[in-house]
Chain A
Amino acid sequence: MKERPFVEIDRVWMRYNGSGGTLALRNASLSVEREEFVAVVGPSGCGKSTLMRLVTGLWPASSGSVIVAGKEVDRPLSIAGMAFQNPTLLPWRSILNNVMLPFEVVEPHAGRLRRDRASYEKQCHELLELVGLKGFEAKNPWQLSGGMQQRASLCRALVHQPQLLMLDEPFAALDVFTREDLWGVLQNLWMVRKPTVILVTHDLREAAFLADRILVMTSRPGRIMIERKVDLPRPRTTEMTYTPYFQDLVQDLRGHIDRARQGEEMAHVN
C-alpha cells in the first residue's frame, strides 16, 4: 500500500470574517508527499498565502479537512518552519541569536538549551555557513542587505530541522540577481536537509527551477486547477533555465494562469 501523503488538504473552504466575508478558497484539495518540493503558483489574490496559513494551523479552515503528518491540524503546528516575504528578523538580536530563536521555543530543544547551548550554536553556525553568512553571526539584522537578511530568515525557518517548510514568496522583495542566487541556496538547503517544502510564489521561473511539482491555482476563490511535474535533474543550474524544456514549461504555466483569469471573468458574466 502506498504511504499516506504528508500534507493532505481535502475540499477546504475558507471564508474570512464570517458568512458575509470574502471567499478565499473554494473546495481546494491537494496533497504533498514527504520530502517533496511543491510550488503553488497563481494569479495575485488567489488565496495562496491563505493556503499556507491553513496548513500551518495559523488560521482554521471554514470547512474541509487539513491533515499534516497523519493528524488533523487544529492549532499552530510545531513541526513547521516559516519564512515570509519580509525577513521578519528581530532587530534587537544578532543574526546568530535570531537563528537560535526556534531552539528557544520548540521542544525538546527549549528544555535542553541551557545545558547544550554550545552544540546548538554550532548547528546555527554550520547552517549560516551553508548559506554564505559565515562571519556575520554577530552582526545586527539592519547591518545586512535584504538578500542576506532573507538568507538568515531561511536559516531560522530550517534550523530546528522542521519536517515541513512553508515559504510565502520569500524572494519576492529581492532583485533578480539576488533572487536567482538564493534559489541555489534554497535548493542546496533542501538537498541537505530534505524537509517537505511548500513554496508559495507568483514567479513561474522560480517555481520551475525549485519544485518537483507545480500546482496552479485559479483566481479567487481559489482551488487547484492543474499540476505539472518538473523533470529536471538535481542540482538544477541557471543554465537549465535557458533550455527549451524549461522555457516551454514556464510558457505552459503562464498560459494556464492567463486562462484561469479569463475563465473567472467568463464565469462572472454567466
Chain B
Amino acid sequence: MSTEAVATFAGDIKAAGTDDPMQDEEFARDAAIVAAAIRRRRLMRILPWLVIAGMVMLWEVVVRVFDIPEFVLPAPSVVAQSISKWWNPIVMNAGQTLKTTLIGFLMANLLGLTLGVIVGSSTLVYHGLYPLLIAFNSIPKVAVVPILVIWFGIGTAPAIVTAFLISFFPITVNVAAGIATVEPELRDVLRALGAHPLKIVRKVGLPRAMPYYFASLKIAVTSSFLGSILAETVAGQSGIGHLMIVASSRFEVPLVFAGLVVTAAMSVTMYTIATLIETRTIGWAMRSQGDLAGGV
C-alpha cells in the first residue's frame, strides 16, 4: 500500500464517526497506529540524508574547533568552494572516469554472465575452473596495472581493463551459484517434458540466477569504480584518479577531497540505478507479507 493510500485510509477512519463511543475509540486507535506507520516510513526515507548532513556538519565543526590546517583536512565548505572553482575540469574528468568504468563494467557483465552460466551448469567445468578463478581474483590489481600499461600504453585502456578485471569475478561467482542451486524437482519437471539442457538453463537456471546476479551487480558496480580510478592514478592522463594525483602533488588538498566526493556521488548513483532495475525486474524474489492476496 502506498503512503498516499494509507493516508486516505487514515482520513476515512477519522471521518467515520459513529454513535457508539466504544467503536469510535477503536477507530481512533487504528488511526493512531496507521499515522505512526506513516511517520516511520517518512523517517526511513529521509534518514540517509539526515545522517549525511549530520556527518558533514560534524566534520565542519571539528575542523573549525581544532583549527585543522587545510592541507591536512579541508572543511566541507572549503571542499564545496573547490568544487565550484574547478567545476569544468572536474566534470570533464568525472565524465572520463564514468565512461571507462561503464565500459569495463559492461564487459564484466557480458563475461561474468556467460562464464557464470557455464560454470554453474557443469560440475566438470566448475571443478576445473574454480581454483583458477579464485587464484585470479586474489591477485592485487594494483600490481597488474603496470603490465597493462606495457600492453596497452598509458590512457583509457588500462582503466577499462582494470575496472573489468575487478568486477567480473563477483558476477561470475554469483551467477554460477544461482544456476548450480536450482532445485532438482524443478529441473525434473522440465526434463520430464523432454527439455534440452540448454533449454533448462534458459527457462529455469537463468531466471533463478537473476536475484544472485543483481546482488553481485551492486558489489561489481562500486568496485569497478575502484578499478578504473586505481588505474588512472597509476597510469592515466585524465579521469578523477589522475585529477586527484595531480592535485595532491600540488598540495591542492581541497581538490583531492572534491575528487573523492564526486567519486562517491557517482558510485552511489550507479548503485541506486542497479537497485531500481533490480526491484523492477525481480520483484518476485523480494515479495513481502503485504503482497499476499489472502489465499483461499
Q: Which A residues lie at the B interface, using CB under 8 A?
A: 53, 56, 58, 75-78, 80-82, 84, 86, 88, 90-92, 101-102, 104-106, 139-140, 142-145, 147-148, 156, 160, 166
Establish whether residues B193 and A78, one from each chain, have CB atoms under 8 Å apart when the complex forms.
Answer: yes
Give B212 Cβ to nearest chain A Cβ, in Å: 13
Residues of B within 8 A of A78 (CB): 193-194
Establish whether residues B295 and A77, one from each chain, have CB atoms under 8 Å apart when the complex forms.
Answer: no
Given the known interface contacts A84-B188, A90-B204, the answer about A106 and B295 at a Cβ–Cβ threshold of 8 Å is: no
Residues of B within 8 A of A56 (CB): 192
CA distance A142 to B203 in the complex (A): 19
Given the known interface contacts A84-B188, A90-B186, A91-B284, the answer about A143 and B199 at a Cβ–Cβ threshold of 8 Å is: no
Give B292 Cβ to nearest chain A Cβ, in Å: 6
Q: Which B residues lie at the A interface, using CB under 8 A?
A: 183, 185-186, 188-195, 199, 203-204, 207-208, 210, 282, 284-285, 287, 291-293, 295-296
CB nearest to A87 among chain B residues = B185
Establish whether residues B194 and A92, one from each chain, have CB atoms under 8 Å apart when the complex forms.
Answer: no
Residues of A within 8 A of B203 (CB): 90, 101, 104-105
Establish whether residues B192 and A58, one from each chain, have CB atoms under 8 Å apart when the complex forms.
Answer: yes
Establish whether residues B194 and A106, one from each chain, have CB atoms under 8 Å apart when the complex forms.
Answer: yes
CB nearest to A102 among chain B residues = B193
Q: Which of A82, A92, A145, A147 contacts B189 (CB 8 A)?
A: A82
Residues of A within 8 A of B291 (CB): 142-143
CA distance A101 to B208 in the complex (A): 15
Residues of B within 8 A of A101 (CB): 189-190, 193, 203
Establish whether residues A58 and B296, one from each chain, have CB atoms under 8 Å apart when the complex forms.
Answer: no
Give A132 Cβ to nearest chain B Cβ, in Å: 9
Establish whether residues A82 and B287, one from each chain, have CB atoms under 8 Å apart when the complex forms.
Answer: no
Establish whether residues A92 and B292, one from each chain, have CB atoms under 8 Å apart when the complex forms.
Answer: no
Establish whether residues B185 and A148, one from each chain, have CB atoms under 8 Å apart when the complex forms.
Answer: no
CA distance A81 to B208 in the complex (A): 22
Residues of A within 8 A of B194 (CB): 75-78, 105-106
Establish whether residues A143 and B292, one from each chain, have CB atoms under 8 Å apart when the complex forms.
Answer: yes
Give A155 Cβ to nearest chain B Cβ, in Å: 13
Establish whether residues A106 and B193, one from each chain, have CB atoms under 8 Å apart when the complex forms.
Answer: yes
Given the known interface contacts A105-B199, A140-B284, A143-B293, the answer about A88 and B193 at a Cβ–Cβ threshold of 8 Å is: no
CA distance A166 to B199 in the complex (A): 22
Establish whether residues B287 and A76, one from each chain, have CB atoms under 8 Å apart when the complex forms.
Answer: no
Given the known interface contacts A76-B194, A105-B199, the answer about A91 and B185 at a Cβ–Cβ threshold of 8 Å is: no
Give B253 Cβ to nearest chain A Cβ, in Å: 50
Q: Which of B186, B208, B210 contacts A88 (CB 8 A)?
A: B186
Establish whether residues A77 and B192, one from each chain, have CB atoms under 8 Å apart when the complex forms.
Answer: yes
Establish whether residues B186 and A145, one from each chain, have CB atoms under 8 Å apart when the complex forms.
Answer: no
Establish whether residues B189 and A142, one from each chain, have CB atoms under 8 Å apart when the complex forms.
Answer: no
CA distance A101 to B195 in the complex (A): 11
CA distance A104 to B192 in the complex (A): 13
Give B241 Cβ to nearest chain A Cβ, in Å: 40
Establish whether residues A91 and B285, one from each chain, have CB atoms under 8 Å apart when the complex forms.
Answer: yes
CA distance A51 to B185 in the complex (A): 16
**10 tightest CB-CB pairs across the interface, nearest first?**
A78-B194, A145-B295, A143-B293, A82-B192, A105-B193, A92-B284, A105-B195, A76-B191, A88-B185, A92-B207
Establish whether residues A58 and B188, one from each chain, have CB atoms under 8 Å apart when the complex forms.
Answer: yes
Establish whether residues B207 and A144, one from each chain, have CB atoms under 8 Å apart when the complex forms.
Answer: no
CB nearest to B188 among chain A residues = A58
Residues of A within 8 A of B296 (CB): 144-145, 147-148
CB nearest to B195 among chain A residues = A105
Residues of A within 8 A of B295 (CB): 143-145, 148
CA distance A127 to B208 in the complex (A): 27
- New contact pairs (9) apart from A75-B194, A84-B185, CB-CB < 8 Å: A80-B193, A88-B185, A90-B203, A90-B204, A101-B189, A105-B195, A143-B291, A144-B296, A160-B193
Give A134 Cβ to nearest chain B Cβ, in Å: 12
Most buried by B among A78, A92, A144: A92
Give B255 Cβ to nearest chain A Cβ, in Å: 48
Residues of B within 8 A of A77 (CB): 192, 194
Establish whether residues A92 and B282, one from each chain, have CB atoms under 8 Å apart when the complex forms.
Answer: yes
CB nearest to A160 among chain B residues = B193
**Would you mind naming 10 contact pairs between A and B with Cβ atoms under 8 Å apart?**
A76-B193, A77-B192, A77-B194, A101-B190, A105-B194, A106-B194, A142-B292, A143-B293, A145-B295, A148-B296
CB nearest to B192 among chain A residues = A82
Give A66 Cβ to nearest chain B Cβ, in Å: 14
Residues of B within 8 A of A145 (CB): 295-296
CB nearest to A106 among chain B residues = B193
Residues of A within 8 A of B189 (CB): 82, 84, 88, 101, 156
